[in-house]
């Protein structure tokens, strides 16, 4: 059994030598360390039949947020729950808001956090009701326009009458 481990250690160190060109001293150290590591692993294996696997802290795989959006649902990428839309209150439960949630998952700022159907329905409603026409700035612009035209025509008429008099 230890011979197998030694063989494994030798192979591993040989691979290291080929890769890194180790000096004889380094070779000895590497062989010793590798063998010790293998021995430790073997001892653990024999002890409880389970080798404790220490998973290194791998950053979470980038989630494709597009997959979280379907026609009728939007899945919260934090907890995996599906909703019609991700409310501010829900995101708050995860210590996030719309902005930080988008940043975390690389979602464009303009992407609504709601089901596709909900989003397109909302767009439709918006386009039909034209809320911007109710905005004070838009109204002002609309009110100004005919006034300006009236003033111009008024002036033109006055000018015209003036010329006619002279
Ligand atoms: Zn959630």
Summarize pLDDT for 12-70 with one digit per residue, the tens. 777 877 777 777 788 778 778 888 887 877 777 777 665 556 666 666 566 789 999 99
Report the SS3 class of residue 105.
Answer: helix
Which tops the pLDDT comparison, 124 or 58?
Answer: 124
Centroid of ligand 1 to alpha carbon of 107 (angstroms)? 16
Centroid of ligand 1 to alpha carbon of 94 (angstroms)? 7
Q: Which of 99, 110, 101 is nearest to 75 (CA)?
A: 101
Cα atoms in the Cβ-side hemisphere of radius 13 Å centred on 128: 6
What pLDDT is attached to residue 32? 81
The model's pTM is 0.43
Centroid of ligand 1 to alpha carbon of 93 (angstroms)? 7
Centroid of ligand 1 to alpha carbon of 46 (angstroms)? 43
């Amino acid at each position: 059994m230890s011979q197998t481990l030694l063989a494994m250690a030798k192979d591993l160190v040989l691979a290291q030598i080929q890769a890194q060109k180790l000096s004889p001293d380094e070779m000895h150290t590497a062989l010793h360390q590798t063998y010790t590591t293998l021995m430790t692993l073997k001892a653990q294996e024999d002890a409880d039949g389970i080798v404790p696997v220490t998973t290194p802290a791998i950053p979470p795989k980038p989630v494709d947020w597009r997959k979280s959006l379907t026609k009728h649902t939007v899945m919260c990428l934090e907890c995996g729950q599906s909703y019609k839309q991700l409310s501010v209150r829900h995101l708050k439960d995860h210590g996030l808001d719309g902005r930080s949630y988008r940043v975390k998952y690389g979602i464009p700022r303009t992407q609504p956090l709601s089901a596709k159907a909900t989003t397109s329905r909302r767009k439709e409603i918006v386009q039909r009701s034209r809320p911007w026409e109710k905005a004070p700035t838009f109204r002002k612009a609309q009110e100004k326009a005919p006034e300006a035209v009236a003033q111009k025509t008024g002036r033109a008429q006055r000018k015209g009458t003036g010329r006619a008099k002279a």
